């Protein structure tokens, strides 16, 4: 394509509100433009990348035997009421009314629609297993849209839904999807990790994995082992744990100590000269409307998703300070002693020999507190986040932490939706059974940002060949030089005839402008037709290796072909 009339409005500077490097580069390189917060237009270059990513996803999904279809974005609210998610989903679900005042949601995901479809159309075990997918625009009214395509309100996803007669079938398709995802993210050129994850609002009963693109801007923390292949989202990650037998016999009775102004662990630790990992925090939560207390080591943080799982509640959140006070606790000095609410103790806190806890009295703590004797504990469980000092739960070697962008997620849903929406089938004996479901998402548009995060540096970007908008950026230095024009046109024709996608910068601009634009736009190969055109020589640059060679036209053809089709 000739660059002369192409709509690729590069920018010298990114708009001030673009924080992430990928966001800046996609704007500056002329890939996207914002229409509203979290709502973007994909300009011709961005759209080319998006289509290439979609095609790779489609090829790998089709290869597994999944069937592509397209469901509507407008979903009747009744479906969401039937599944019970209409209220759970909250303000992130975009709602609207039609001219007859019927309520609709703009689909952020399609479990309800697909489950209803399969419920209505598939009745026999003979049509199962079935795996259905679509590549579609999704809507989510994010509280804080940001980082360009990373957290948008209108975005593109691939979502797949599998239906099986039993869990073994689900295990099989889950593994196929896991493998397909690994191939997809490899082919699009991402540096990624598959990690164990928490199901979040999608729910479900079985295991699930996230595919994380490694990037500092990522909103997720990935915990992985430095030795074995254990990897999990921090939300889900365990740390290695060794129980220390308690020796509480003969321990003295607990004692009230004066701790003026020590309402935080840091203050208390300093005042008493006791390290935070020897102190016990009492955290107050509201779980499905009821107060619950969590005991955790001073240097640890509560993992609310783990806590939610342990408590078995739908809705859990830290109590507001008024709620803490209303429940009879003194904020900053809350005590677990003498409580008759649910008390969850993190298992690490049980390894602390003698506890120092709040006295439930301003400026006072208790020491020599013994769990069991002084504190009634409902349950001991792992309810904390792993930390960088922890060891692997599998092999005991040190854990490491990275930041990641979630680009894919595979879930074993089980019967959560098939039960709620009545998706059953008749088995070989003619008995009605509930379908076993899985669901599998890929953030198609988000991949653009994730790749850009990984492959850009300041004002320079290099796309992987597999998804680059064009393979070659052909630059003619002097628009009016006849020898250059002839050689460039010849290469443009020859490369295209060989199936190479070429963007030909035929503009009447200064060389500096052309090179700066080419750096921003990021085609993986640059071929420059300049002063040596008269001798039939051009410059070839493999941008990823930052390698420059002078070639003849024949050599450059061979080199490009070798690079693009290895």
User: Counting Cβ atoms within 10 Å, is residue 111 exposed (0-12), middle (13-18) or buried (19+)?
Assistant: buried
Comparison of 135 and 533: residue with beta carbon closer to its own copies: 135
Pairing of strands 103-106, 67-68: unpaired
Both tokens of residue 50?
Answer: 């998006």
Comparison of 233 and 445: residue with beta carbon closer to its own copies: 445
CA 298 to chain centre: 29
Phi and psi torsions of 67, nearest 5°: -105, 130
Comparison of 72 and 396: residue with beta carbon closer to its own copies: 72
Comparison of 380 and 474: residue with beta carbon closer to its own copies: 474
Comparison of 107 and 441: residue with beta carbon closer to its own copies: 107
* Cβ atoms 51, 501 nearer than 8 A: no
Comparison of 117 and 341: residue with beta carbon closer to its own copies: 117
Q: How far apart are CA 488 and CA 542, in angstroms?
A: 18
Whole-number minimum distance, CB 446 to its own copies, in Å? 15
Whole-number minimum distance, CB 317 to its own copies, in Å? 19
SS3 for 316-347 is EEECCHHHHHHCCCCCCCCCCCCCCCEEEEEH
Largest CA distance in the chain: 98
Whole-number minimum distance, CB 513 to its own copies, in Å? 13
Beta carbons within 8 Å of 99's beta carbon, 6+ residues apart: none
Give the angle 310-313-316 at the CA atoms, nearest 5°: 95
Q: How far apart are CA 264 and CA 271, in angstroms?
A: 10
User: Counting Cβ atoms within 10 Å, is residue 453 exposed (0-12), middle (13-18) or buried (19+)?
Assistant: buried
CA 212 to chain centre: 6
CA 206 to chain centre: 19
User: Counting Cβ atoms within 10 Å, is residue 35 exposed (0-12), middle (13-18) or buried (19+)?
Assistant: exposed
Comparison of 76 and 318: residue with beta carbon closer to its own copies: 76
Q: How far apart are CA 423 and CA 415, in angstroms?
A: 9
Comparison of 47 and 313: residue with beta carbon closer to its own copies: 47
Whole-number minimum distance, CB 76 to its own copies, in Å? 5
Whole-number minimum distance, CB 137 to its own copies, in Å? 6
Comparison of 106 and 293: residue with beta carbon closer to its own copies: 106
Comparison of 96 and 426: residue with beta carbon closer to its own copies: 96
Beta carbons within 8 Å of 535's beta carbon, 6+ residues apart: none
Whole-number minimum distance, CB 152 to its own copies, in Å? 9
Whole-number minimum distance, CB 71 to its own copies, in Å? 5
Comparison of 25 and 295: residue with beta carbon closer to its own copies: 25
Beta carbons within 8 Å of 114's beta carbon, 6+ residues apart: 71, 132, 161
Whole-number minimum distance, CB 533 to its own copies, in Å? 24
At 262 the three-state DSSP class reads: coil
Comparison of 74 and 395: residue with beta carbon closer to its own copies: 74
**Residues making contact with its own copies (CB under 8 A):** 4-7, 9, 33, 35-36, 39-44, 46-47, 50, 65, 67-76, 91-92, 94-96, 98-99, 102, 104, 106, 113, 117-118, 120-122, 126-130, 132, 137, 139, 141, 143, 153-154
Q: Beta partners for 290? A: 287
Whole-number minimum distance, CB 563 to its own copies, in Å? 25
Q: How far apart are CA 139 and CA 486, in angstroms?
A: 49
Whole-number minimum distance, CB 81 to its own copies, in Å? 14
Comparison of 294 and 448: residue with beta carbon closer to its own copies: 448
Whole-number minimum distance, CB 151 to its own copies, in Å? 14
- Other CB atoms within 10 A of residue 272 CB: 16
Comparison of 152 and 336: residue with beta carbon closer to its own copies: 152
- DSSP state for residue 245 in the 8-state scheme: P
The HSE-up count of residue 313 (CA atoms within 13 Å, CB side) is 16
* Cβ atoms 170, 436 nearer than 8 A: yes
Q: How far apart are CA 207 and CA 502, in angstroms?
A: 44
Whole-number minimum distance, CB 14 to its own copies, in Å? 15
- CA torsion sign for 215, 219, 225, 231 is negative
Whole-number minimum distance, CB 166 to its own copies, in Å? 16
Whole-number minimum distance, CB 9 to its own copies, in Å? 4
Pairing of strands 525-529, 472-476: parallel
At 451 the three-state DSSP class reads: helix
């Amino acid at each position: 394509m000739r660059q002369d009339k192409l709509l690729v409005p590069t920018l010298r500077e990114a708009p001030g509100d673009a924080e992430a490097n990928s966001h800046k580069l996609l704007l500056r390189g002329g890939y996207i433009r914002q229409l509203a917060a979290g709502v973007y237009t994909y300009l011709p270059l961005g759209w080319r990348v998006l289509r290439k990513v979609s095609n790779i996803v489609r090829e790998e999904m089709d290869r597994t035997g999944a069937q592509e279809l397209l469901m509507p974005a407008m979903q009747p609210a009744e479906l969401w009421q039937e599944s019970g998610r209409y209220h759970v989903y909250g303000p992130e679900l975009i709602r609207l009314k039609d001219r007859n005042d019927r309520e609709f949601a703009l689909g952020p995901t399609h479990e309800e629609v697909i489950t209803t479809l399969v419920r209505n159309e598939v009745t026999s075990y003979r049509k199962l297993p079935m795996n259905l997918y679509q590549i579609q625009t999704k809507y989510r009214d994010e509280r804080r849209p940001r980082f360009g395509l990373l957290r948008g309100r209108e975005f593109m996803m691939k979502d797949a839904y599998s239906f099986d007669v039993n869990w073994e079938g689900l295990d099989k398709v889950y593994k196929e999807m896991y493998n397909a995802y690994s191939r997809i993210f490899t082919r699009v050129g991402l540096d990624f990790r598959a990690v164990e994850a928490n199901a979040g609002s999608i729910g479900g009963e079985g295991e699930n994995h996230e595919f994380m693109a490694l990037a500092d801007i990522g909103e997720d923390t990935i915990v992985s082992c430095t030795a074995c292949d254990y990897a999990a989202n921090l939300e889900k990650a365990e740390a290695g744990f060794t129980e220390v037998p308690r020796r509480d016999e003969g321990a003295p009775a607990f004692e009230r100590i004066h701790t003026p102004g020590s309402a935080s662990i840091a203050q208390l630790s300093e005042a008493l000269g006791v390290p935070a990992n020897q102190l016990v925090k009492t955290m107050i939560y509201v779980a499905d409307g009821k107060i619950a207390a969590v005991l955790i080591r001073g240097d640890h943080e509560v993992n609310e998703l783990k806590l939610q799982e342990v408590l078995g509640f739908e809705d859990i959140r830290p109590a507001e300070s008024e709620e803490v006070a209303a429940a009879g606790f003194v904020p900053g000095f809350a005590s677990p002693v003498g409580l008759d609410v649910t008390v969850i103790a993190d298992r690490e806190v049980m390894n602390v020999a003698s506890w120092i806890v709040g006295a439930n009295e301003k400026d006072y703590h208790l020491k020599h507190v013994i769990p069991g004797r002084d504190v009634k504990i409902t349950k001991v469980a792992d309810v904390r986040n792993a930390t960088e000092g922890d060891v692997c739960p599998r092999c005991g070697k040190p854990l490491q932490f990275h930041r990641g962008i979630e680009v894919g997620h595979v879930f074993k849903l089980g019967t959560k939706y098939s039960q709620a929406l009545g998706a059953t089938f008749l088995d070989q004996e003619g008995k009605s059974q509930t379908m076993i479901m899985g669901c599998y998402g890929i953030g198609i548009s988000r991949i653009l940002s994730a790749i850009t995060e990984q492959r850009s540096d300041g004002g320079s970007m290099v796309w992987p060949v597999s998804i680059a908008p064009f393979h070659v950026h052909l630059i003619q230095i002097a628009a009016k030089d006849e020898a250059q024009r002839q050689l460039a046109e010849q290469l443009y024709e020859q490369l295209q005839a060989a199936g190479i996608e070429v963007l030909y910068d035929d503009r009447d601009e200064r060389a500096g402008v052309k090179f700066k634009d080419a750096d921003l736009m990021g085609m993986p190969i640059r071929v420059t037709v300049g002063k040596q055109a008269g001798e039939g020589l051009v410059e070839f640059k493999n941008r990823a290796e930052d390698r420059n060679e002078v070639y003849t036209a024949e050599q450059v053809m061979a080199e490009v072909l070798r690079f693009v089709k290895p």
